Chains A and B, each alone.
Chain A
Amino acid sequence: MARKKMFELNVPDNLHEQMGSPERILESLEKGVILSRIGVLQEEVSELTERIDNLRRRNAELPHEIKRMEILLKELIKDQEALAALLCEKR
């Protein structure tokens, strides 16, 4: 049977007595694990908030961008017709 792995933890001298029991060690580990999870979640929440802000900004810009593209397209179609007429004249 494989021997169980051991973890070695450094405990501040003044806390060594308090940390004597396995329950106390586990309690501190649990707090540490929850704090780590809280840190990860805080990062995820801030990333999601940023993505939502960017999407909202993009959605607000799109109607203006579409208008701009429509104006440009009209101008290009007008040029296309003028070019076709001029080239037709050439022939």
Chain B
Amino acid sequence: MNTPRLRSSNRKIRIKDNREIHELAEKYHVKVDVESIQKIFDLGVKCPYTERQLAEKLNELENEKKNLESSLRKIAKDPSNLESTYAGLRWQVNRIFLDNRVRVFHLSAHSPTDEHGKRLRNELIKKYVQYSQST
């Protein structure tokens, strides 16, 4: 029994790689080459919107992008310099912490005579040695 051949639902058309295509690609910053042209063409064929509607949407997005870029620049400028204040404080905290830890190691070989000194020594050893072991 002969099975009927399924007819291809597509036909091929050939177009020249012309100036208009290059101008389109350049205008909209989209790469149009042998690999992408079919996808771009399919998008266009299936698109339910008019060129005018698309141009409006494009314009709206370009403006939104510009506004967002401007907002980002303003926020990133950080006029209050909070980020640098924070970085400076962190640097100081790290430096003094490391310095204190070294002093605690020196202190561990020594036992003060008075009760207050002993308690303080033990507290500091506990604080810095325990912290070092937990990190």
Interface residues of A (CB under 8 A from B): 4-13, 15-16, 19, 22, 25-38, 40-42, 44-45, 48-49, 51-52, 55-56, 59, 62-63, 65-66, 69-70, 72-73, 76-77, 79-80, 82-84, 86-87, 89-90
Contact = CB atoms under 8 A, between A and B. Distances in A.
Given A8-B14, A9-B37, 19 more contacts: A5-B17, A9-B14, A9-B41, A10-B12, A13-B11, A28-B45, A33-B27, A35-B44, A36-B40, A36-B43, A41-B61, A41-B65, A44-B65, A45-B64, A59-B82, A66-B86, A76-B100, A83-B107, A86-B121
Interface of B: 7-18, 20-21, 24-25, 27-30, 32, 34, 37-45, 47, 49, 51, 54-55, 57-58, 61-62, 64-65, 68-69, 71-72, 75-76, 78, 82-83, 85-86, 89-90, 92-93, 96-97, 99-100, 103-104, 106-107, 110, 112, 117, 120-121, 124, 127
Q: Per DSSP, are chain B's interface residues mostly helix, strand or loop, or mixed?
A: helix
B58 A38 contact: yes
A32 B96 contact: no
B86 A69 contact: yes
B43 A87 contact: no
A8 B72 CA distance: 43
Contacts of A73: 89, 92-93, 96
A30 B82 CA distance: 48
Most chain B beta-carbon neighbours within 10 Å: one of A15, A63, A80, A83: A83
B20 to A, nearest CB: 6
Q: Per DSSP, are chain A's interface residues mostly helix, strand or loop, or mixed?
A: helix
B54 A7 contact: no
B37 A7 contact: yes
Contacts of B110: 86-87, 90
Contacts of A65: 86
B93 A72 contact: yes
14 contacts: A6-B16, A7-B14, A13-B8, A34-B54, A34-B58, A38-B58, A48-B65, A48-B68, A52-B68, A52-B72, A59-B75, A69-B86, A70-B89, A86-B121
